[in-house]
Each structure stands twice: as C-alpha cells, then as structure tokens.
Structure 1
Amino acid sequence: MTYRIRQTRREDWEKLRELRLVALQDPVAPVAFYEPYEEAVHLTRGEWERRASGREAVTFIGETEAGNWAGMVGAFSRQRVVYVVGVYMRPEHRGTGLARELMRAAIAWADGNEVRLRVHEGNQRAARFYASLGFRPTGDADADPRDPSLHAYELALTELTEDA
C-alpha cells in the first residue's frame, strides 16, 4: 500500500483527535501511551488545534489514497534532542512498512539532532521495531505512573540502519 506522509496542520484537528482517541483505546494503549483516554476525550477544540498546528511538536501522519489516516508519529525538540512520541498504526496498517516511513520522517525532521524515545517494557513488539531502526538503550528508565513496578526505557538512535 502507498501512503502519503505529511505533517498535520491546524485544520487537521478533528482527524488528529479521532486517530488519537482510537489509539488510546487500542488494547496496547496501556503500555504505549501515558495519556488516559478519559482525559484526552475532554480536551478542547483549541487544544486539538494546538496539537495539530505543529508549533510545539509535530505529528506526521500516513494517509491512504482515499484520505484515511492510517498511522501517526509525533516528535518534539528539547535542548537539541528530538523525542519521538505517540507512535500508532491502525491495526489493519501494521506490518505494511508505514511505521518505518513515519519514523524516517520524524528522524529527518530531527535534522541531525539526537533522536530518543521511550518504550514500555511490556511493549516488546515496539522494542524490536525500534531496535531494527538502530535505536539502542541509553540506560535511563522511568517508572510507569500507573504501575511503578513497570518501566519505560529510553532508547537513542545510534546509527540509522540501512533497512530503516
């Protein structure tokens, strides 16, 4: 399948809201996102417009030929480090290469700056995917705010693999 990869714009707020809420209800959401659905569903139109505008963070989406949003990857920059967040593919688009395309867009957006992300210890599929791109553990970890006995581990892109 062919996807059009692009950044969201302010006017995309409704589609961004819809995809994010779907992501937060996905069975893997508890180990992929810290934002609870119950909070996100109550965000204002203005908040969604801000998220879609790309001022503080960017969101790359994969759009099908029919204009449907198949997946997304977010990124923001802090002190010359770009953090990848909010990675989500609709189930029917997993394994199609879309995640790799979206990650490439986020890495390109980093423009040579260091790229980091966090992966929950319970999300082994995502950990394998990030490792295939060249991400490696930094040794830093945070406790899961919902269950402090679990952790999210920081990964940094050490060298983009050729098949990434």
Structure 2
Amino acid sequence: MGYTIRQTSRQDWERLRELRLAALRDPVAPVAFYEPYEEAVRLTRGEWERRASGRETVTFIGEAENGSWAGMVGAFAKRGLVYVVGVYMLPEHRGTGLAGQLMRAAIDWGQGREVRLRVHENNPRAARFYESLGFRPTGSSDTDPRDPAFRAFELALRPV
C-alpha cells in the first residue's frame, strides 16, 4: 500500500480532529497519549485549526491511496532539539511501513538536529520500533501523569 506523506494545514482541522480522537479512543491510548479523550473532544474549532496549522507543532499525516488518513506524527522544536509527539497509526495500517515514513518526515524536518521522544514502559512494540530507527535511551524518564506507578522513557536520535 502506498502513502502520501505531507504536513497538515489549517484547512485540515476536521480530519486532524477525527484522527486524533480515533487515536485517543484506541485501546493503546492510555500508554501512548497523555491527553484524555474527554478533553480533546471539547476543544473548539479554533484550537483544532491552530493544531492543524503547524504553528507550534508540525503534524505529518500519511494519506492512503483512497484519500483516507492512515496515521500521523507530530514534531516541534525547542532549545535546539526536535521532539516527536502524537505518533499514531490506525490499526489496519500498522506494520505497513507507514510509521517509518512518517518518522522519516519528522526526522528530516529537524534538519540534522537531535530528535527526542518518550515511550511508555508498557509500550514495548513502540520502543522496539524507535530503536530500529536508531533511537537510544538518554537515561531520562518521567512518571506517567495519570498513573505515577509507571514511567515514560526518553529516547534520542543523535545526528551522525
């Protein structure tokens, strides 16, 4: 299956909202996203337009051949580093190579800067995927804000 990878624009707000809400309803969401569905569903059109515009976080989407959105990856720059957030593939598009294409777009967007992300300790599949791309643990971790018994570990892809 082929995908078109591109950045979202303000006009994409409704489709971005639909994909993000699907992500937050997915059974893996509790270990992949800190934003609760109940909060996201109450966001205004203006907030979704702001998110889609890429002013703060650039969102790359994978569009399937039939025009449907299949997955997304967000990225933002802060203090000379690039942070990847909001990685999500619809279940039927997992294992197709789309995640790698979207991550490559986010890494390329970083223009050679170090790229960091966090992965929940109960998401070993994601950790293995990021490590296959060259991400390595930084030694930093945070507690899960919804359940302090769990941790999210920081991984980094350092420029060669």
TM class by shorter chain equals: over 0.9
SS of 1:148 mapped into structure 2: strand
| 1:14 and 2:9 correspond | no
Identical-pair percentage: 77
Q: TM-score, normalised by structure 2?
A: 0.98
Match of 1:104 in 2: 104
Match of 1:113 in 2: 113
Distance 1:158 1:54 in 2: 24
Give the letter for the 2:76 counterpart.
F
Match of 1:27 in 2: 27
How many residue pairs match? The answer is 160
| Residues 75, 83 of structure 1: 8 Å contact kept | yes
Q: Within 5 A, what are the aligned runs for 1:29-44?
A: 29-44=29-44
SS of 2:95 mapped into structure 1: coil
| Residues 113, 158 of structure 2: 8 Å contact kept | no
Match of 1:67 in 2: 67
SS of 2:116 mapped into structure 1: strand
| 1:126 and 2:129 correspond | no
Q: Give unmatched runs, 5+ long, in structure 2.
A: none
**Which digits, 9 at most, give the CA deviation of each residue in 1:76-128, with x for residues without a partner?**
01011000000000000000000000000000000011100000000000000
| Residues 114, 159 of structure 2: 8 Å contact kept | no
| 1:89 and 2:80 correspond | no
Give the letter for the 1:55 counterpart.
R
Question: Following TM superposition, by how much is the alpha carbon of 1:6 offset from its aligned partner in structure 2, in angstroms?
Answer: 0.1
Question: Following TM superposition, by how much is the alpha carbon of 1:66 offset from its aligned partner in structure 2, in angstroms?
Answer: 1.4
Q: Give unmatched runs, 5+ long, in structure 1.
A: none
Question: Following TM superposition, by how much is the alpha carbon of 1:12 offset from its aligned partner in structure 2, in angstroms?
Answer: 0.1
- The 4+ residue runs of structure 1 with deviation greater than 2 A are none
Match of 2:45 in 1: 45
Distance 2:114 2:131 in 1: 16
| Residues 119, 155 of structure 1: 8 Å contact kept | yes
Query: Cα RMSD between the aligned structures?
Result: 0.9
| Residues 71, 89 of structure 2: 8 Å contact kept | yes
Distance 1:19 1:73 in 2: 11
Question: Following TM superposition, by how much is the alpha carbon of 1:149 offset from its aligned partner in structure 2, in angstroms?
Answer: 1.1
Q: TM-score, normalised by structure 1?
A: 0.96
**Which digits, 9 at most, give the CA deviation of each residue in 1:16-46, with x for residues without a partner?**
0000000000000000000000000000000
